[in-house]
Amino acid sequence: MAQEDGQSGTFTLIIPHDGLERHVQVHLPAERASEPIPLVIALHPLYSSGRAMEAITGLSVQADARGFAAAYPDTAQMFWDDGRVQSGFHERVFGDLGGTTTIDDVGFIRAIIDTLSADYGIDREQVYVTGLHNGASLVYRLACETPNSFAGFAVVGALMWDYVRDECETIEAAPVNLLLVRGTSDPIFPSSGRVLAELGEREDGSLYASLGTDITLNFWAERLGCTHSADTPNTREYSGCIEGASLRLYRVLGGGHNWSQGGERPLNNFGVNTTEIILNNFFGGEWQLEQAAVFRDTPRQFFVYAPESYDPERPTPLVIALHGRPGSGTDMAAITDMNSIADNAHFLVAYPDGIEQGWNSVGDLIGDPSMMQDDVQFMRDLVAELSLNFNIDPTRVYVTGFSNGGFMTHRLACEASDVFAAFAAVGSSLYYVMRDVCDASPPVPMLIMHGTEDVSIGWDGVRQMNMIGEEVQVSYSVPDTALYWAAHNGCNPEGLHRREYPMLGQSTGTQVLRADFVGCAENVRVYLISGGGHNWAGVPGVIGEEIAGRVNMDIHASREIWTFFSEHRLEEATADT
């Protein structure tokens, strides 16, 4: 429901458009001038939300200080349709979740402008749009298709996809003011560009690709009639553009795929504030900010989902979900469907990216030179980082993981029980080499979920080749992993509560059995998915059955995991350490 004009703060506006009820978070400044005010629209990344975008950008704070309105729209299907549906890109990346119906997101953004200018005193001549990741890709499309609707465009992180460029080339050019903010060490959109050969050829024989920084800038320079005129270590500027147009680049030296917030932070101290750069560019301030220091560490990426019900005045639980290898945070969001559970149960979800698509769950302990980063510390820093932007309840922070992320979850249970209140490991087991660490750690609530026909992480545990070519067992079997945690938590070895879930007929050949150990200092719960493969129960079509085996549909793994998590919280003293 919309609030009456004249009120301030953040509220949810529902706008019917193209047969859908679309939602947008709107922030109106506390003090408003009598004349119409500017509007900044911020588009969130893939599998994120408007509420999360408000928190990570700090735009609402700046809106109050500078006297503009801010709008944070939500996607209809967890992604902005920048042309990816029509091009077939999204379906090839996300399989059955790809969708075959185009979504009129361009029209939705126009509808936001129409509604806010008609009902909330917005100046149509001072409307600006920015976005991160997939939201930034839609900004490129808006700059091509609706240049006259906006006074300025700012893209953060993303370079142009070839399918966006191809469509843009069919549209007559018009003046736009475009700013690109890019991390020079962005692993998702590398400066050199990236060809996605793994998606296969299109009908014309071409491959999907993200364009490099220079190619993206050259496209816009040619479109706007600009020439490269000036460089600083952080910036590039163009001149001679068609009347009313500008083209600029800000380089975050050493930066990744992040919305840099500046100041001293636990993660990614890039020494510059993305929001300040963008707003100064929009409103005529000094946008060529000097970066305090070049970032020398490895940048870490993560996406956050905040449900519409998120209230920054109320402490809120947080779930961190760790992807498998190779994988990414957005892959994990698709695999788990955790956002839908967060909507109903009112918690935050963070989807971090591992380095080189994986987690150091055991690499440093066995001397693997390719996996030496301290991901335990990264998780500690991630919780501290998110706590600066969101009102997180420190007694209700949880972690779950799948495959390599599940192995990492076991490690965190042994090394970070002061941060996380409960743990859920799916499609994984416990490495033998972790015993020395785990034996000395306190009891923790642990949920284990595994398919008996998992071909990636076998029911009998992981076997690997040693230095002399022999295959040796390196992890416990799944039953022995459960028994380890039961013994660790002081459970009664003679007692189990067993539950057999009804077979609903949607997943022939699989059945869910649950066992809860009794008499434990902390709960141990095991889900045996008879006939199940290397996948996430309740979410079909993301990992193909030809790769990972059968998906059980009698339960939703994320719902079961949240039910378990909701039963546990840290003691206040532990959470504050």
Higher local confidence (pLDDT), 378 or 78: 378
Total number of residues shown for the chain: 577
pLDDT at 576: 61
CB of 55 closer than 8 Å to CB of 389:
yes
Task: Round to the nearest angstrom and report the end-to-end CA distance of the chain.
Answer: 41
Higher local confidence (pLDDT), 459 or 463: 459
CB of 175 closer than 8 Å to CB of 244:
yes
Query: Helix, strand or coil for residue 125?
Result: strand
What's the CATH number of domain 9-283, 3.40.50.10260, 3.40.50.1820, 3.60.21.10, 3.40.630.30?
3.40.50.1820
* Separation CA 552–CA 556 (nearest Å): 9
* Separation CA 306–CA 344 (nearest Å): 12
Classify the C-alpha dihedral 80-108-83-545 as positive or negative. positive
Q: Is the pLDDT of residue 300 over 60?
A: yes
Q: Is the pLDDT of residue 33 over 90?
A: no
* Separation CA 287–CA 180 (nearest Å): 12
Which secondary structure element, helix H or strand E, spans residue 567, and what is its range? none
pLDDT at 30: 86
Taking CA 163 as the corner, what is the angle to CA 159 and CA 166, rounded to the nearest 5 degrees? 105
Higher local confidence (pLDDT), 390 or 462: 390
In terms of C-beta density within 10 A (0-12 exposed, 13-18 middle, 19 or more buried), how is residue 568 classed? Answer: middle
Give the bridge partners for 227, in sequence order: 239
In terms of C-beta density within 10 A (0-12 exposed, 13-18 middle, 19 or more buried), how is residue 70 classed? Answer: buried
Q: Is the peptide bond before 326 cis (omega within 30 degrees of 0)?
A: yes
Closest to 323 measured CA to CA, from 556, 542, 49? 542
* Most confident region among 138-147, 201-210, 261-270, 538-547 by mean pLDDT: 138-147
CB of 182 closer than 8 Å to CB of 207:
no
Q: Where are the alpha helices (DSSP H) in 225-355?
A: 274-283, 329-336, 338-345
pTM of the model: 0.94
Question: Which of 101-115, 244-258, 362-376, 410-424 shows the lowest per-residue confidence on average (mean pLDDT)?
Answer: 362-376
pLDDT at 3: 38
CB of 501 closer than 8 Å to CB of 511:
yes
Residue ranges covered by each domain of the chain? 9-283, 302-575
pLDDT at 366: 80
Residue 2 is classified by DSSP as: P
What does 521-565 look like in DSSP terms, one character per residue? Answer: SS-EEEEEEET--SS-TT--SSS-HHHH-PPP-SS-HHHHHHHHH
* Separation CA 402–CA 461 (nearest Å): 15
Strand ranges (E), 37-169: 37-43, 69-73, 122-132, 152-156
Closest to 201 measured CA to CA, from 116, 92, 350, 122? 92
What's the average model confidence in pLDDT over 172-193?
97
Q: Where are the alpha helices (DSSP H) in 146-228?
A: 162-168, 213-224
Count of CB atoms situated within 10 Å of the CB of 121: 18
Structure confidence at residue 201 as a pLDDT band (50, 70, 90): very high
Taking CA 333 as the corner, what is the angle to CA 155 and CA 41, rounded to the nearest 5 degrees? 30
pLDDT at 352: 98
Paired sense of beta strands 69-73 and 302-305, if any: unpaired
Classify the C-alpha dihedral 490-493-496-500 as positive or negative. positive
CB of 197 closer than 8 Å to CB of 207:
yes
Q: Is the pLDDT of residue 367 over 80?
A: no
CB of 383 closer than 8 Å to CB of 393:
no
Burial 133-162 (b: 16+ CB within 10 A, else e): bbbbbbbbbbbbbbbebbbbbbbbbbbbbb
Q: Is the pLDDT of residue 364 over 90?
A: no
pLDDT at 99: 63
Taking CA 210 as the corner, what is the angle to CA 243 and CA 404, rounded to the nearest 5 degrees? 140
Q: Is the pLDDT of residue 265 over 60?
A: yes
pLDDT at 262: 86
Which top CATH class is 302-575? alpha beta
pLDDT at 1: 32
Q: Is the pLDDT of residue 2 over 50?
A: no
Q: Is the pLDDT of residue 202 over 50?
A: yes
Contacting residues for 227 by C-beta, under 8 A, at least 6 apart: 221, 238, 239, 240
State the chain's mean pLDDT as an integer: 93
Taking CA 386 as the corner, what is the angle to CA 382 and CA 387, rounded to the nearest 5 degrees? 115
- Token pair, residue 146, equals 């609706």
What's the average model confidence in pLDDT over 384-411?
98
pLDDT digits (tens, 9 = 90+) for 95-154: 766 666 889 999 999 999 999 999 999 999 999 999 999 999 999 999 999 999 999 999
